[in-house]
Structure 1
Amino acid sequence: MQYTLRDFLADQPIPEIELLTGERDFSVIPLESVSVQEMPVDDFIRPNELVLSTALGCDDDPDMLERLIRDVASARAAAILLAFRDPRFRVPNRVLDYANGAGLPVFVIPWKHRFADISEHVAKRILDGKTKAYQKIQTELFSLYFDSKPLDAAAEAVCGFFQAPAVITDKEANVRGVCRAFPGSGESFAQYARINIGINDILSGYLWLGRSGAGDSRANDPELIEKYVSFPLSMWFNKERIEDMVRMKFKNDFVWNLATGNYESVEEMARQGEKLRFDLNKPYTCITIHAAPKAPSAGERKYSPQAAENAFALESILAQEAKAMRLSVMYAERSPEFILFVENPACEPVRQVEAYANAVSARLSAGFPGCAFFFGISEITPDIHDFSRLYGNAVLALRYCMNAKGKKNSFTYKDTKEAQIISTVSHDPDIREMARRTLEKLLEYDRSSKADLLGTLGAFIRCNYNTSLTARELHIHRQSLLYRLEKIEALTEMSLKCHRDLFLLEVCTRIFLDY
């Protein structure tokens, strides 16, 4: 219920108050704020404000008093309440005539009354009136929610309350509810006032409010809006979140059982997969992802609302990249790891699966700079129904990836075979000594010049002996790379054009670099 000028007069906080202008229907004049003003008022008065003033300096200057009344009327104040030190002072008729013409009620009160007491009384009554109005819209929104009405109905109720177009979106600004007053495609709600929807600092979405046709100031009360409007609206999103969590648990359990072989029959899993829109009669590649905080003090990850939000954001990235590449993906979270089964497309499956993994890696690194992400990728095969073996091989690749000394954040199952061979031979002391002698001059040169010839050799081998790719990876000119390669040949007394020498150099560098 809105507090009006009639309510203020009925309260009788000032029994001696006197109306100097003509009688009006004060029940249609809302009071939305109160302030004490003296000349010059400038732009300090808000619409529908009750202005209190001693008209300082106006006793002997009728023109100044008229300017005060004009400024207050121009600001569309609700009324002005004057208190003069000299009880014999009378407001000139021409000033009152102007006030009557402008529709500005003018009151006078005895000097003895304190403006602070009046301001406190009016502010409290205004807040009480606003609170009652907000409680009404809160009750209406609760009723809509418990009646299972859509967010369109909630937007309609909000529109009626604020007398302004209302749009409700999720965090990505996807429209979830819209009122009939919204013009639609002819107008963008991006210019509307944006109000957060959420609970306990967990953002769920936004309420967008257009300009109020009635000039109501309700949209300027963020605390009341948060308590009485945003909170009820958040229940729609929380309901969806709970439903998503139930679906997520079912999906997580399904993928985990698939990966670990914990099921009675493939046929039963296929029927469950149909409910989740997963076709198990297609070949898949398994990818395991491990998220590790870069800061050593971060400690073990524990559940928190923020951790849940991060997991949801990460899964959104997995789904978005799969959709962009038109790949079917099954994924599950087993904190701090994620299990993915990526459908092998009929055309160039190796290239497309690797492209998907690279795209996800780039998005995760950009979205979560405080975490390092490691990928283990199984073999890419046309076989079907072999999910547990694929998962085991992806886990093996992930383990080698996380234990690798190099900067590589992704290992395939094929890499693990090479890693197993290198790991085996590197434990032989004779082979390690042979590798040290082979690269001894190279290592000494690196220590004295910091040229990193060993790193250059490793990059050259990783790039399949392609000088252009190697130069690009090292961010150096091709001529500089050729000079380094000649230096490597001179120091090792081996040829980079001889297959046998290249094989020996690759074994030696892998023992030292582990790439």
Structure 2
Amino acid sequence: MSNDWRLTITEAIKRPLFQHAEVVAGHRGLARPVRWVHVLETADTGQFLNGGELILSTGLGFGGAKEKRLAYLAELIRRKASGLCIELGEYIPAIPADMLEMADHHEFPLIIFHQPVRFVDITQDLHEHLINRQMQALRDLEAYSRGLQQLSLQAASIPKLLQHFQAAVQTQVLFYSPDVAAQYVPVLPHAVQVEMNELMASLFAEEDTRDASVRFHPLSMTKQLVYQPVMAMGHLLAYVGVILYERDADEYMLLALDNTVSAMAQFFMRKMFAEEQARVMENRLFDDLIADRPMTEDHMRTLLGLSGSVKTVSYHTLIVSCEKSEPAAEGALPPHELTAIYRSLLTRQGFLPFIRCMGHRFYFLLIEPKPRADSRRALEKAWADLKRIAVQMLGADTQIRCGIGRVGKRLSDAGRHLAEAEQALTFQRDSSSPFFSDLGLFRLLFHIPAEPVLDHFITDYLGPLLAHDEKHGSALTQTLHVYLNANLSKQAAAEQLFIHRQTLYHRLEKIAELIGDDFASPERRLCLEIALHAQQWLQKEDKALPRY
């Protein structure tokens, strides 16, 4: 199978029309590929070169003038032409030493014709040869893609896909993922594998996970690594690459690499979705937690499939809500399709994840098998990555919110911590933090029964204001809330309410008339603030009931 679209100068000079040609300089550049053939007599027209052209010339434009011929040759080198063919004759009977020296210095092939030759014949011959090669490469690429498709239908493993890729490109290929063992075809010595694994691990950690394009990484002066990420739903899964020695990647190789990467992504997606289908016990666990059914420690470990050797250092509960501002369009990606990607992402970040998707919500139980120096930072990173993938796959019009419960130690308390995550999710509409531990006063309200304790407390302190607002359509309750939050600053409260200060004075007088003029005293103020927060929380709870 051909694995090069292009023709090298070495191959070109073996064509019949070059039988009287001789390479006189730049022998080390004969492996350069020829993209096209062009007749060029002066340096002034070098601007029309794109690079990779084999130039034909009679010397008409530069002749025997030293400055002109060196400027001409320098322009070809600067424009990245592949080489220069000169027909010896009237304009240039022999190649001067200065041209030979410059060509050798830049490893730029310089070829002479000892006998006259028709440039039109050379152009036609090489162009036909190039086009035929490209057509053959396209046919080879199509055959390669069909082979990949057959392997995919046979549920072939990663080694099979790599072997198929290596047979097509005929060079060293590799597969790297932080989740499974790296693979090399052909097999490399152990010391080289260790070195390459360390390099790939460093590249993996530094890469922009949103970019799926091919990367080029020099390994030495003559060797380079060409690799491409395997992506699925915005999540980086692995790398597939080739190691090239004294050559560049051609179009055929890059297209074969891209096709292989796509096949790898499909392989991973099928594997992950098959694993998701088998997680019946995990779903049952979350159903029990959401329903707040009491469970023993042993029962929890059984449902999670945790053997006695797996120690639970600590765990975290998260709830992520993905709500569309408008009804989802037909054919839109359903949220549960992200479950496998989320599992892979969280596993890579050091968690043992258990996930349940219900409607537009994800429920997470993240076990930390090993203690961390900063669990909160790890959770913040996990939440940022979960949100990024959700927005990327579900659309920018999706509102992504998260609630995170306190750190858990006993699995039997997971239901309580999941309820904490639910409360944190409720308040994340107005809070910059998704953590239950940052809710402050709301944490106390969470443990007070709404009926009758909170309802009676709110009525006792805010009842007259709420009744007045409902009857007259006023905003006295909101005014009191803003005024207290502004630390009794009338100017700040008026600015936040977008009203004149005189209007605020009238409202405060009415508030004092309804609930007493001592409402700003420390004890009354504290009770009023608690009542205002409690009322706000109960209103949000009514709006935030989960929909399945």
Structure 1 residues 372 and 22: CA distance shift in structure 2, 3 A: closer
Q: Does 1:299 align with 2:328?
A: yes
User: Displacement of 1:238 after TM fit?
Assistant: 3.4
Q: Distance in 1 between matches of 2:71 and 2:13?
A: 26
Q: Give CA-to-partner distance per residue, 1:442-477, whole Å, 9 cap, x none.
A: x98999xxxx661363698xxxxxxxxxxxxxxxxx
CA distance in 2 between counterparts of 1:277 and 1:303 reads: 42
Contact 2:144 2:256 in 1 (8 A): yes
Q: What amino acid sits opposite 2:304 in the alignment?
A: G
Match of 1:106 in 2: 112
Displacement after TM superposition at 1:92 (Å): 0.4
Q: Give the match for residue 481 of structure 2.
A: 454
When the two chains are superposed, the root-mean-square deviation of aligned CA atoms in Å is 6.6
Residues 114/506 of structure 1: CA separation in 2 closer, same or farther (3 Å cut): same
Q: C-alpha distance in 1, partners of 2:78/2:366?
A: 67
Counterpart Cα distance in 2 of 1:433 and 1:282: 51
Contact map agreement 1:48 1:76 (CA 8 A) in 2: yes
Query: Who is 2:321 aligned against?
Result: 290
| 1:57–1:333 distance in 2 versus 1, CA, 3 Å | same
State the AA in 2 paired with 1:225. M
Residues 314, 368 of structure 2: 8 Å contact kept = yes
Equivalent residue in structure 2 for 1:32, among 27, 34, 45: 34
How many angstroms apart in 2 are the aligned matches of 1:8 and 1:344? 62
| Aligned-partner residue type, residue 51 of structure 1 | I
Whichever residue aligns with residue 35 of structure 2, its letter is: S
Give the equivalent residue in structure 1 for 2:277: 249
Aligned to 1:471: none
CA distance in 1, matches of 2:258, 2:387: 33
1:231 aligned to which of 241, 249, 259? 259
Mapped to 1, the partners of 2:389 and 2:420 lie a distance apart of: 24
Letter in 1 for 2:20: L
Deviation at 1:247, TM superposition (A): 2.2
Q: CA deviation at 1:231?
A: 2.0
State the partner residue of 1:415: 446
Q: 3-state DSSP class of the match of 1:493? A: coil
Distance change (3 Å), C-alpha of 1:495 and 1:419: same
Q: Per-residue deviation at 1:285? A: 7.7
Aligned pair partner of 1:127 in 124, 134, 156:
134
Listed as ranges, the matches of 1:85-484 within 5 Å are 89=90, 91-95=92-96, 104-107=110-113, 108-110=116-118, 115=123, 117=124, 120-128=127-135, 148=157, 150=159, 157=166, 161-162=170-171, 168-170=175-177, 176-177=182-183, 179-180=188-189, 183-184=195-196, 190=203, 191-192=217-218, 195-198=227-230, 204-207=237-240, 212-214=244-246, 216-217=247-248, 219-221=249-251, 224-251=252-279, 253-261=280-288, 271=302, 273-274=304-305, 287-293=318-324, 296-297=325-326, 299=328, 304=333, 311-312=339-340, 314-315=342-343, 323=351, 329-341=353-365, 364=386, 370=396, 371-374=398-401, 397=423, 401=426, 415=446, 417-421=448-452, 424-425=455-456, 432-433=463-464, 435=466, 454-455=481-482, 457=484
Q: CA deviation at 1:228?
A: 1.4
Partner letter of residue 253 of structure 2?
Answer: I
Question: In 1, Cα distance between the equivalents of 2:231 and 2:384?
Answer: 31
Deviations 1:149-199 (A, max 9, x none): 649976994998457xx65445x8998445556754896775446543458
Query: What residue in structure 1 maps to residue 505 of structure 2?
Result: none
Return closer, same or farther for 1:286/1:110 CA change in 2, 3 Å cut-off: closer
CA distance in 2, matches of 1:422, 1:394: 20
Q: Which one of the candidate residues 526, 535, 543 is aligned to 1:502?
A: 526
Q: How many residues align?
A: 457
Inter-partner Cα distance in structure 2 for 1:134 and 1:98: 41
Aligned twin of 2:61:
57
Task: Return the letter of the residue paired with 2:127.
Answer: E
Mapped partners of 1:385, 1:446: distance in 2: 41
Distance 1:382 1:207, change over 3 A: closer
Given that 2:57 and 2:87 are in contact with CA atoms closer than 8 Å, whether structure 1 keeps it comes out as yes
- Deviations along 1:337-358, whole A, 9 cap, x unmatched? 112346699x9xxxx9999877
Distance 2:403 2:422 in 1: 7
C-alpha displacement of 1:122? 4.2
Secondary structure, counterpart of 2:518 in structure 1: coil
**CA distances 1:200-255 after superposition (whole Å, capped 9, x unpaired):** 99765434556x432x23x143xx2343123224434533332222223323x322
Give the secondary-structure state (helix, strand or coil) at the position aligned to 2:22. Answer: coil
Taking a change above 3 Å as real, the CA distance of residues 321 and 298 of structure 1, as seen in their structure-2 partners, is farther
Q: Summarize the Cα distance change of 1:413–1:247 in structure 2 as closer, same or farther, 3 Å threshold.
A: farther
Shift in CA distance, 299/245, structure 1 to aligned 2, threshold 3 Å: closer
| Contact kept in structure 2, 1:301 and 1:336, CA below 8 Å | no
Shift of the 131–35 alpha-carbon distance from structure 1 to 2, 3 Å rule, reads same
Query: 2 CA distance for matches of 1:406 and 1:199?
Result: 34
1:59-78 mapped onto 2 (5 Å cutoff)? 64=68, 68=72
> 2:320 aligns to what SS in structure 1?
strand
Counterpart residue number, 1:484: none
Distance 1:499 1:373, change over 3 A: farther
Instruction: Report the residue type matching 1:238 in the other structure.
Output: Q
Cα distance in 2 between the residues matched to 1:109 and 1:22: 16
Contact 1:152 1:176 in 2 (8 A): no
* TM-score calculated relative to the size of structure 1: 0.58
Deviation per residue, 1:253-308 (Å, 9 max, x gap): 32221233599x99898556336899799998865432224xx2473696539x67
CA distance in 1 between partners of 2:461 and 2:318 (Å) = 37
Whole-angstrom CA distance in 2 between matches of 1:319 and 1:200 = 15
The amino acid that maps onto 1:494 is D
Which letter maps to 1:32? V
Pair 83,303 (structure 1): closer, same or farther in 2 beyond 3 Å: same
Q: 1:201 to 1:310 in 2, by over 3 A?
A: closer
Aligned residue for 1:51, secondary structure, equals strand
Cα distance in 1 for residues equivalent to 2:365 and 2:227: 39
Q: Look up the equivalent residue of 2:111 and give its one-letter code.
A: P
User: Take 1:376 and 1:201, find their aligned partners in 2: how far apart are those partners?
Assistant: 23
In structure 2, C-alpha distance between the alignment counterparts of 1:93 and 1:435, rounded to whole Å: 103
